Amino acid sequence: MSLDTITSRRELAHRSNNGIEVYLLWSPASDTIAVTVIDEAGESFELVVDPGDALEVFEHPYAYAAFRGCLVGADVVA
């Protein structure tokens, strides 16, 4: 992520568990909500989500990423 991208977003929620950081971010300029996941190895992914699904995706980002096909070929440990 670029500095402009980070500063133009607002953090709505954040959680951390077992080396995985999950952020719920809102971009006022585009009025979009995204969930960003970063693990301790620096691997990351981001999901742009509908506002009505935001908290559910925030709580279960790997399930939604797998459903969308974002984790195809990725080494995901449950």
The 3-state secondary structure of 23-58, one letter per residue? EEEEECCCCEEEEEEEECCCCEEEEEECHHHHHHHH
Mean pLDDT of the chain, nearest integer? 85
> What mean pLDDT do residues 6-11 have?
81
Report whether 18 contacts 2 (CB < 8 A).
no
Query: 20: which 2 tokens?
Result: 């995985």
Domain extents for the chain? 3-68
Select from 30, 32, 36 the least CA-distant residue to 15.
36
- Tell me the pLDDT tens digit for each residue of 18-35: 999 999 999 999 999 999
- Tell me the pLDDT tens digit for each residue of 33-67: 999 999 999 989 999 999 999 999 999 999 999 88
Residue 58 phi, psi (nearest 5):
-60, -40
